[in-house]
Amino acid sequence: MDEKLLQYIWKHKLFVMSNLQTVSGENVSIMSVGFTNPDSGPDYINVRLKLNDTLWVGCVEIHLNSSDWDKHKHQQDEAYSNVILHVVYEHDKDIYTTAGKCLPTLELKPLINQKVIDIYRLYMNSSSDIPCQNQFDTVDAFRLFSWLDRLLIERLEERTQEIKRLLEKKVHNKEEVFYYYLAQAFGFKTNALPFSLLAESLPLIYLSKQKNNLFQLEAMLFGQADLLPTDDTDEYTDALRKEYTFLQKKFSLTPLCRASMWKFAKLYPSGFPTIRIAQFAALIHQSSALLSKALETDNIEGLTKLFTAKASDYWKSHYRFGKSSLKVTDKGLGEFAVHSLLINTALPFMYAYSQWEGNQVLQNKVISLYEQLPFETNGTVRKFIPLRSDFSNALHSQSLMQLYNKYCSSKQCLHCGIGISLISNVT
């Protein structure tokens, strides 16, 4: 037994509620267990109960043993003077308030189903990535997917706070922040840092001035990325280098990243940073007010088309500058890459926008769009796939990532909707 479990048992009334008595024989009738105290002081506030026939409203303090009251020196702390009931797992001594009054104590040890403690210990002692994996498939589908809905909102709220911090840094320019957020996502984790530095060094306003000229966009982006070779390579590369030299002086540009920061190793050639930058340039070239257009789009097909970009002709036969490839192919963003951008960038930003504007219709649309996208597969999500067969879309995969990262990995079972269901329904 630990105090976290004992508080959970009190909160969810997982003990025999009939014929309750204090250790001194007073009848106890619990009308409300109250609310967790977010501040210092007693554990629960606004508790309503009857001791014999007298109604009391106040606080409850919870300990494993009665003597913990004295160990924590609550008998000397006025903040605990409004405690009306001491709830303990085991009573080992009488305790007193600051006024010297013996405090009524409720002992829960004989009132708790031992199976509740056993399953909690099972989860806490589990060496599995998912503590409840052996019971995961027994959770009622309605309860499970209701919890996954909440987890997606929780995940999106966290993203909203990240975007809000960026907005404060960018003087509340939403299109600029969306551009920065999108650039970071184009790095697809491996090159997220240099891509973010690239966007930081090249404000959207400069790209907007040249957006009708794809070649100039490429020159600015590759130049600021420090990926333009300094020696002679081919006509296209030489022309880019000259154009960048002109634009760098025109806009007083200073690169923030170095060529050595870009990672090519262990990437498929189609994911090389040179290809991603060329695709990013094409996306900027073909899209005006990209955020506004995304906000107005109501279906995944429209969003997918909006974010699909194809690199310029030079890249049909190249993966790096000056090194031609025998295989000639269009270097467009694949469906998987586009979906990743939507899931991790466009939709979180649209959700954040719905929060700023108080737009419930937009918020609901974002949730619906997640349901229209395919289920993702990555190292985290694959941990759950063998446990159930009813996961089907990106809402589920995003929620499972939140579930694992925020609850399973740190064994926060008492705060997890699934853990609560499994522990509370022990018979």
* Per-position pLDDT tens, the chain of length 427: 889 999 999 999 999 999 999 999 999 999 999 999 988 899 999 999 999 999 999 999 999 999 999 999 999 999 999 999 999 999 999 999 989 999 999 999 999 999 999 999 999 999 999 999 999 999 999 999 999 999 999 999 999 999 998 888 866 688 899 999 999 999 999 999 999 999 999 999 999 999 999 999 999 999 999 999 988 789 999 999 999 999 999 999 999 999 999 999 999 999 999 999 999 999 999 988 899 999 999 999 999 999 999 999 999 999 999 999 988 999 999 999 999 999 999 999 999 999 999 999 999 999 999 999 999 999 999 999 999 999 999 999 999 999 999 999 999 999 999 999 999 887 5
- What does DSSP say about strands 83-90 and 105-107: parallel, antiparallel, or unpaired? parallel
Sequential DSSP letters for 284-347? HHH-SSHHHHHHH--SHHHHHHHH--B--GGGGSEEETTEE-SS----BPPHHHHHHHIIIIIH
Contact present, 104 and 91 (Cβ < 8 Å): no
What are the backbone dihedrals phi and psi of residue 75, each rounded to the nearest 5 degrees, phi first?
-65, -15
* Residues 6+ away with beta carbon under 8 Å from 320: 272, 274
For the chain, which residues make up each domain, given as ranges?
3-112, 117-169+374-427, 173-342
CA distance 415 to 422: 12
CA distance 403 to 397: 10
DSSP assigned state of 294: H
Backbone φ and ψ for 380, nearest 5 degrees, come out as -70, -50
Rounded CA-CA distance 291/204 in Å is 13
What six digits make up the tokens of 197?
A: 């530095």
Name the 3-class secondary structure at 331: coil
Give the angle subtended at the CA of 323 by the CAs of 316 and 282, to the nearest 5°: 35
Residue 368: phi, psi to the nearest 5?
-65, -35
Question: What pLDDT was estimated at residue 169?
Answer: 80
Contact 252, 169 (CB under 8 A): no
3-class state of residue 345 by DSSP: helix
Q: What is the rounded distance in angstroms from the CA atom of residue 395 to the CA atom of residue 391?
A: 9
Count of residues in the chain: 427
Query: Burial level of 23, CB count in 10 A (0-12/13-18/19+)?
Result: middle
Cβ–Cβ < 8 Å for 247, 217: no
Contact at 8 Å (CB) between 355 and 160? yes
**CA separation for the pair 304, 400 (Å, rounded):** 23
